[in-house]
Structure 1
Amino acid sequence: MAQGQLGIAHIGWVASCHLVRRVDELCRRGVRNVVFTDNVPPHFDPSAHDFTVLDLPKDLFSAPLRLVRWIEDRLKALGIDLVHAHSTHFPASLGFFIRTVPAICSPWDFVHSKDPFSPLFHRAILDQLPCGTLLDGVSFSSKPYMDDVVAKGLPAERAFWHSWGVDLAIFSPGRHAERAARLRERLGIGPDEILFLSPRTPSLPANVDIAMQAVAEFGRTRPARLVVTGHHITRESLYYERLAARPDIARTTVFMDTVRNDEDIATLYEASDIVLSLHSNDFNPATVLEAFAMERPVVTHDLRTVSFWAEHGVTGWHVPPRDVQATVAALESIARAGRETWRAMGRAGRRRVVELADFQKTMDRLPGHYRQVIRLAASSPRPPLTSYDKGLLHDICNVPDQAAAFYRQAAEAGEQRPLLAELLEEKTAMARPDKGLEYFAAKRSQAVVREMVAADGSQWPRLAKRLPLPLSLFRHDFIVAFWPLLERGDFGAVLDLTVCLADHYRTDTLEWIGETAFLFGRRFGQWERCARLLAATRDGGVSLAALACETAERLGPDHDLTPVLAARALAWSGEGGVASHPNLAALRAEVAKRARGLARP
């Protein structure tokens, strides 16, 4: 270990407010920090921070072993004592394969590991945490998950609970009262209206569409508004365009742009009465902690990692996932409970955050824990990279053919490692000309959807009752099962099936059709079939218009379907009128321009 000042290299996304906030605080505490990343977003200003940002060389992404050596060379030159990998995703996961300095990881996003369609390396990484050979230490933001991994074998001295935490000086009730009052006035929300806040990034698992429908129904009998925002506004929020145009939802829902500044975020909580955080696959409920810090009760799903913080009837309410009527009933119960109950629940939430999620207390412990990991690594270093490890590295870096070769070597050498046979099967399939389409459709899709595809349409409503709760980011585990219908050109059946799924889950068909074109086009190169599906689709929005343009551009100007898709894109880009996405108007104009360029003279 370097004498005196501790040197830490972080690998991850500088777009993550949690990473940046933590590194900023370490700098204030005298720790030297450098952040390795694959992308610096436009909103990030390096001059506003005291740490160094190094871009990973993209020309080495296809040569992962050389990329790891490049990082190790810079760690040596900078005198770094430890690497902190912030997540199990690329590029943070590169830290697992560095052997010249100790490494600790913060696993935090588990959506991919629970998605049957998602690459298996996400599960393989998590399955290796208990053995303690992948990393020298693990920094858990979830106490229940840490307890599970320790129970499975991770030595307790290598496990550390570091809640993401909340800056209680900024997230302080009453501090932002004047700004909050002005915000409500600017948004046209009266003092007697109940303001529900949905601050979670509006991905599909965040279930913002359920919140929109529930508040609209609740608002028929009581004055209420829903404010939707997030640290990042995703492309999937475009799928809410038609839903947002419904008169009752347009009347009750306000869409805001991204909010990244903590003062602005705290002001939103101050302005709100109740916080809705309806994510169906939540692992790190930062929005719940922020709401509690501002003494606001929450409505959540009863997930173990969330219920550790949010207790039904004490700090808020639990509702079943993707159930509009149950959510409406909960909102009615909340209204009947009254503001005194809300305030009491909010105070109970604040006490829990002060006790267990004070950001400054977390940061008080972190440097000492870094030093503990360094000492543990010195006494029990990780083994050299095996063929399996090299396969995992190439897998994470999206080099499937070389990943398969290393997995094959590991199997031949008799390595007993998590999911080795399954990883080899997956990578072998992905190296085939169809990019693994047949494999994913047959083995990595939702079984009930496969049954629906094979059955007569009259059986679909009955089979739909057995469908599981969607846990994936994009529904691709459901959609890839459509392949037999697409392969035989039964596009009408595909559209009918999207209607059935949309009815079952109370979603718009836009997300199912859009993600079908997105998956089979971009992932599997089936642009001709995507074109015929979109040509058979009558109603759309700017999300489908953009996909129609992209598909036509892939097919080329001489294809018979190009003018059809251009006409669809022109029509769809002019539909709707509610800005469910901050760039909706600009996107419409851009798509219309592309469509006009594609149209034949």
Structure 2
Amino acid sequence: MRIALFSDTYYPQVNGVALTLNRLVRHLEHRRVPHRVFVPKIADDDLFRSNIHSFSSIPLFFYPECRIALPNYLSIRSELRRFRPDLIHMASPFNMGVCGLHYGRKYGVPHIASYHTHFDRYLDYYHLKFASPLLWRYMRWFHESCLTTLAPSRETMEQLIGQGIRRVGLWQRGVDCHLFDPGKQTGSVREKYGIRERYIFLYVGRFAPEKDIDILLSIMAGLPESLRDNVHWLLVGSGPLLNDLRLQAPANATFTGYLSGEPLAEAYAAADLFVFPSSTETFGNVVLESFASGTPVIGARAGGVKELVGDGKTGWLCPPRDGEAFVHTIARVMQNPSLLDTAGSQARAYALCQSWDAIFDGLIERYGQLAGSGNNPKDQSHSA
């Protein structure tokens, strides 16, 4: 079985989609599944290997962290003719994904898509809600010939089905419980950042409007004074709102920039509570990373997060974009800090059951079933 993967985001970009796909590619290598990957080139990072082909990209003008790929379709077609994929997987619906879609449709190669981002919800945050009907019309066109569209949560599946996208399946995410582990709580984070307060509250993610950063700020400001003075906020990430957030965040907040690997694992393990108000997540990889680290999560009752967080068990859920509810819940929990230990233990137990290997092996099995389904009327001649 030979797999061609197309995406408009990939390592070294730091987001859930890029990191998941990078891990998937490593798993394909480990399982010796022949594959080719077609992705944008990021800055001066040269990703070219025999199985990874990167193309020029430019930053999105209002969101420089996101990039628009400029693929060379003739080059892609030439490589695919040599490789002769049994299945094409499009992990994004834009420039790179359209190249994979076009080739699959033209030459009768079975193809699937995975849905990762609630773009329609993002439109609200950028005053573009009027474009939502056009977006969904495009999405229906993009997905109509796919053998399946894989969604990361049941909530996302229901939304896709409600928008007229057929043949939707579930592809959840895993977590590395060796990297993210409560044992990484060594005191090094407190020493590195000079933290003296009793509690550490953590946020990990992009500093962007669609992550409800304004709600995070309202939570910081709204904590009762007695608690506020005993909390240090550790804010991990970057994004277009970084400068605004620096200006408005309280003095007891530390901005670490992007972290990965051991430094990120240590930050999770050092935290007493992970505060994640984003209401636009299709899954919430950072929630699982926090769970694996034994750190309970307070999140929005929305998207994939509400399916991960067991309210009152592995964390707590609050109404989306309700900063007062977050503050009230945090204050209630912190009146009995033993609740954090109990929830953290249950969170770790849950994470231990979410193996990346099992999830990716299930995906590879799905690849094989779909590649051999014979649903595509054209034979795979790969001729011009």
Instruction: Specify the TM-score bucket, using the shorter chain as the normaliser.
Output: 0.7 to 0.9
- 1:346 is matched with 344
Q: How does 1:323-342 map to 2 (within 5 A)?
A: 323-338=322-337, 340-342=338-340
Partner of 2:5: 9
* Match of residue 94 from structure 1: 99
- Greater RCO, 1 or 2 (C-alpha within 8 Å, sep 6+): 2
For the Cα contact (< 8 Å) 2:136–2:163, is it kept in 1?
no
Query: Where does 1:200-211 land on structure 2 (aligned, <5 Å)?
Result: 200-211=205-216
* C-alpha distance in structure 2 between counterparts of 1:353 and 1:113, whole Å: 28
Aligned runs of 1:299-378 on 2, under 5 Å?
Answer: 299-338=298-337, 340-355=338-353, 357-376=354-373, 378=374
1:295 aligns with 2:294: yes
CA drift at 1:70: 4.7
Partners of 1:301 and 1:18 in 2: how far apart?
Answer: 22
d(CA) in 2 for partners of 1:24, 1:7: 13
Kindly tell me: are residues 89 and 152 of structure 1, through their superposed partners in 2, closer, same or farther at Cα, counting changes over 3 Å?
closer
Match of 2:372, SS? Answer: helix
Structure-1 residue corresponding to 2:126: none
Q: How far 1:284 moved relative to its partner?
A: 1.9
1:23 to partner: Cα distance: 0.8
Q: Are residues 1:136 and 2:151 paired?
A: no
**1:353 aligned partner, one-letter code:** A
Q: Take 1:26 and 1:283, find their aligned partners in 2: how far apart are those partners?
A: 24
Give the equivalent residue in structure 2 for 1:166: 175
Establish whether residue 379 from structure 1 lines up as the match of residue 375 from structure 2: yes
TM-superposed CA distance for 1:241, in Å, is 4.1
* AA partner of residue 84 (structure 1): H
Tell me, yes or no, if the aligned pair for 1:140 and 1:159 is still in contact at 8 Å: yes
The answer for the alignment partner of 1:103 in structure 2 is 111
Contact persistence 1:7–1:32 (CA under 8 A): yes
Aligned-residue sequence identity (percent) comes to 22
After superposition, what is the alpha-carbon deviation per residue over 1:45-66, rounded to whole angstroms, capped at 9, x for unaligned? 638x7742232699xxx9x9x9
* Higher-Rg member (1/2): 1
Q: Is the 8 A contact 1:81 1:102 kept in 2?
A: yes
Q: CA offset at residue 122 of structure 1?
A: 3.1
Would the aligned equivalents of 1:309 and 1:352 in 2 still touch at CA under 8 Å? no
Distance change >3 Å, CA 306–CA 75, structure 1 → 2: same
CA distance in 2, matches of 1:370, 1:37: 20
Which amino acid letter does the alignment assign opposite residue 257 of structure 1?
G
Question: Which of 24, 31, 34 is the equivalent residue of 1:32?
Answer: 34
How does 1:460-471 map onto structure 2 within 5 Å? Answer: none
Tell me the distance in 2 between the aligned counterparts of 1:202 and 1:381.
46
Residues 408-432 of structure 1, C-alpha deviation per residue, up to 9 Å, x if partnerless? xxxxxxxxxxxxxxxxxxxxxxxxx
Counterparts of 1:326 and 1:57, CA distance in 2? 41
Counterpart of 1:187, as a letter, is: Y
Residue in 2 that maps onto 1:46? 47
Of 132, 139, 157, 1:146 maps to 157
* Higher relative strand content: 2
Q: Which segments of 5 or more consecutive residues in structure 2 lack a partner in the other structure?
A: 59-67, 124-128, 380-384
CA drift of 1:159 comes to 4.2
TM-score, length of structure 2 as denominator length: 0.81
The number of residue pairs the alignment matches comes to 353
Q: What is the aligned-residue RMSD (CA, Å)?
A: 3.1
- 1:136–1:258: structure 2 CA closer, same or farther, 3 Å change rule? same
- Mark the CA change 1:354 to 1:184 in structure 2 (over 3 Å): closer, same or farther: same
Whether contact under 8 Å (2:281, 2:303) holds in the other structure is no
**Relative to total residues, which structure has the larger helix share, 1 or 2?**
1
1:147-179, Cα deviation, whole Å (9 max, x unpaired): 565688877xx54422232122222221x233x
Q: Is the 8 A contact 1:163 1:359 kept in 2?
A: no
Distance 1:160 1:313 in 2: 29
Q: In the TM superposition, what is the alpha-carbon distance from 1:253 to its structure 2 partner?
A: 1.1
Compute the displacement of 1:68 (Å): 4.7
Which moves more between the two structures, 344-353 or 18-27? 344-353
Mapped to 2, the partners of 1:238 and 1:117 lie a distance apart of: 29
Out of 180, 184, 188, the residue aligned to residue 182 of structure 1 is 188
SS at match of 2:118: coil
- 1:123 correspondence with 2:136: yes
> Residues 180 and 265 of structure 2 are in contact (CA less than 8 Å); yes or no, is this contact kept in structure 1?
yes
Deviations 1:263-304 (A, max 9, x none): 322221111110011112222211111111212111111114
CA offset digits 1:192-230 (Å, max 9, x no partner): 621110102111122234323423442621300111112
Instruction: State the AA in 2 paired with 1:364.
Output: D
After superposition, what is the alpha-carbon deviation per residue over 1:311-351, rounded to whole angstroms, capped at 9, x for unaligned? 2222212223333333221221120131x321221222233
Structure 1: runs of 5 or more not aligned: 384-601
